[in-house]
């Protein structure tokens, strides 16, 4: 009966809270304290009734009083350390008060009033244990709360990274960014920039239906993005018939120039393979790579942010890519990129010329990819 009354009461309180919340706003903190107070007080009233009805004060030391500890432990789930202390202190106060009440005012009227095992010190000791239990519960509640906040912040940070980059970066880079939170703040980084352009794209658009154009781009960009990401690169922006990618930011993984060169060569070879398979029409591209310092970081407001790469290196990479048209090549790199490549990769390039590029005060040494059989 004792347990049934407690369960019925809990459902009744839940019903009242739900009804009150629909009618008017109630402070959640007030509700938690009110609920704790009513639970402990209900238990105390039940003890008073049972002891008075049975005439047995030994009930105050029966397992029934352990219900106080159940409510103290359950208070931790509200994640309010002060509430746990309040619950423990309230339980101790009411239990000791009930014990003193029956010992003092009902002296000689109850069946076991003079029971030798019952004493004021025992009641005080049990009340003290309730207070200690409340303090312990507060520590547990605080620990759980901190763990949940940490987990929430980790999830929030991961979502922010995903929102910022979308599907432009690999899961490995996401994890690196989360481990090094300063990577997204403003900083100067040595990066390798890739610009890629699809040649004769405008005539292709004019001769094909929109659905065919979209399917063509999806096929091309599909494997290009995979290749860039597999070499630790990030697609910063699509340019309609091309894109800009960065190697070395927001996270630097090894030799960024080597990664960029290998990604470029793999893209060129993949286009040739897909054309021979009949998956795409004859396609020519131009790629330009340059390595230098860039300013990186989040730019924008709280509503819309973008991870931006700015600096001379971006302009130079774009203009190097444009020189592919002049020299009828598909991949050009600067000396800054070439000098960082391993010997095997260097052997796939040959010196082209020292070119005067707008934006550069000195001549830029250009190297071309010797395997030009694309499409």
User: Cα(37)–Cα(64) distance, rounded to whole angstroms?
Assistant: 18
Cα dist from 328 to 260, 295, 311, 352, whole Å? 21, 32, 27, 12
Write out the H or E segment, with its range, that includes residue 353: strand 349-355
User: Cα(194)–Cα(191) distance, rounded to whole angstroms?
Assistant: 10
Fold of 171-369: Alpha-Beta Plaits (3.30.70)
**Does a cis peptide bond (omega within 30 degrees of 0) precede residue 6?**
no
Q: Is the pLDDT of residue 66 over 90?
A: no
User: Cα(154)–Cα(173) distance, rounded to whole angstroms?
Assistant: 15
pTM across the whole model: 0.58
- Least confident span in 46-60, 67-81, 108-122, 305-319: 108-122
- Least confident span in 173-187, 221-235, 249-263, 346-360: 173-187
pLDDT band for position 3 (50/70/90)? low
- Least confident span in 8-12, 53-57, 84-88, 282-286: 8-12
pLDDT band for position 372 (50/70/90)? very low
pLDDT in tens, 122-136: 778 888 999 999 999
Q: Are the beta carbons of 337 and 261 closer than 8 angstroms?
A: yes
Give ranges for CATH 3.30.70.1230 in the chain.
171-369
Q: Is the pLDDT of residue 19 over 70?
A: no
pLDDT, position 96:
87
> What secondary structure letter does DSSP report for 340?
T
Q: Is the pLDDT of residue 228 over 90?
A: yes
> 109 or 304: which carries more pLDDT confidence?
304
User: Cα(352)–Cα(37) distance, rounded to whole angstroms?
Assistant: 84
User: Cα(20)–Cα(30) distance, rounded to whole angstroms?
Assistant: 13
pLDDT, position 264:
96
Give the pLDDT mean for 141-152.
88
Q: Is the pLDDT of residue 63 over 80?
A: no
Cα dist from 17 to 5, 7, 33, 45, 279, whole Å? 18, 16, 13, 22, 63
Q: With both helix axes pointing from N to C terminus, report the angle between 120-165 and 81-105 in degrees, rounded to the nearest 10.
A: 160
CB neighbour burial string for 322-331, b if at least 16 within 10 angstroms, e if fewer: ebbeeeebbb
Q: In the 3-class helix/strand/coil scheme, how is 54-108 assigned residue by residue?
A: HCCHHHHHCHHHHHHHHHHHHHHHHCCHHHHHHHHHHHHHHHHHHHHHHHHHCCC
Q: Are the beta carbons of 266 and 348 closer than 8 angstroms?
A: no
Residues 6+ apart with CB under 8 A from 261: 289, 333, 337, 341, 345
* Highest averaged pLDDT of the listed ranges 73-77, 154-158, 211-215: 211-215
Q: Are the beta carbons of 5 and 45 closer than 8 angstroms?
A: no
Give the pLDDT mean for 288-299.
87
Residues 6+ apart with CB under 8 A from 357: 316, 319, 320, 323, 364
pLDDT, position 13:
59
Write out the H or E segment, with its range, that includes residue 112: none
Kindly state the percentage of the chain with pLDDT values over 70: 75
Q: Is the pLDDT of residue 330 over 90?
A: yes
Q: Are the beta carbons of 260 and 233 closer than 8 angstroms?
A: yes
Residues 6+ apart with CB under 8 A from 287: 194, 195, 196, 197, 264, 267, 268, 321, 324, 330, 331, 332
pLDDT, position 117:
45
pLDDT, position 151:
84
Give the pLDDT mean for 67-71.
85
Give the pLDDT mean for 161-171.
57
pLDDT, position 317:
94
Q: Is the pLDDT of residue 143 over 50?
A: yes
Cα dist from 355 to 243, 313, 362, 367, 371, whole Å? 24, 16, 9, 11, 21
Which residue in this structure is represented by tokens 């547990």? Answer: 140
Q: Is the pLDDT of residue 360 over 90?
A: no
pLDDT in tens, 214-226: 999 999 999 999 9
Q: Is the pLDDT of residue 173 over 80?
A: no
- The bridge status of strand 349-355 relative to strand 305-310 is unpaired
Per-chain mean pLDDT for the chain = 81
Give the pLDDT mean for 160-176.
58
Give the pLDDT mean for 237-250.
87
Q: Is the pLDDT of residue 163 over 70?
A: no
Beta bridge partners of 355: 364
Kindly state the percentage of the chain with pLDDT values over 90: 34
């Amino acid at each position: 009966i004792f347990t049934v009354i407690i369960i019925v009461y809990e459902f009744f309180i839940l019903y009242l809270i739900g009804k009150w919340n629909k009618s008017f706003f109630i402070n959640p903190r007030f509700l938690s304290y009110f609920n704790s107070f009513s639970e402990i007080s209900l238990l105390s009233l039940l003890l008073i009734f049972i002891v008075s009805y049975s005439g047995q004060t030994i009930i105050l030391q029966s397992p029934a009083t352990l219900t106080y500890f159940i409510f103290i432990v359950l208070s931790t789930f509200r994640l309010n350390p002060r509430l746990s202390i309040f619950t423990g202190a309230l339980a101790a106060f009411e239990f000791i008060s009930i014990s003193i009440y029956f010992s003092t005012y009902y002296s000689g009227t109850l069946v076991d009033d003079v029971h030798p095992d019952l004493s004021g010190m025992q009641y005080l000791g049990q009340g003290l244990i309730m207070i200690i239990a409340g303090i312990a519960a507060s520590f547990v509640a605080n620990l759980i709360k901190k763990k949940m906040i940490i987990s929430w912040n980790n999830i929030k940070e991961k979502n922010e990274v995903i929102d910022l980059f979308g599907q432009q970066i690999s899961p490995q880079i996401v994890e690196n960014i989360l481990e090094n939170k300063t990577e997204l703040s403003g900083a100067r980084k040595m990066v390798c920039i890739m610009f890629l352009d699809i040649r004769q794209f405008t005539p292709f658009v004019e001769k094909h239906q929109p659905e065919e154009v979209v399917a063509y781009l999806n096929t091309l960009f599909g494997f290009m993005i995979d290749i860039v990401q597999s070499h630790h690169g990030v697609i910063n922006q699509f340019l309609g018939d091309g894109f800009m990618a960065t190697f070395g930011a927001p996270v630097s993984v090894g030799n960024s120039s080597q990664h960029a060169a290998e990604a470029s060569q793999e893209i060129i070879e993949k286009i040739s393979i897909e054309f021979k398979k009949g998956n795409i029409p004859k396609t020519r591209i131009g790629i330009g790579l340059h390595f230098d310092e860039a300013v990186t970081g989040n730019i924008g407001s709280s509503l819309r942010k973008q991870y931006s790469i700015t600096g001379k290196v971006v302009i130079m990479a774009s203009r190097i890519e444009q020189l592919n048209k002049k020299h009828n090549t598909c991949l050009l790199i600067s000396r800054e990129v070439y000098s960082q490549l391993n010997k095997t990769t260097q052997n796939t390039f040959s010196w082209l010329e020292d070119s005067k590029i707008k934006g550069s005060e000195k001549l830029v040494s250009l190297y071309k990819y010797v395997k030009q059989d694309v499409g």
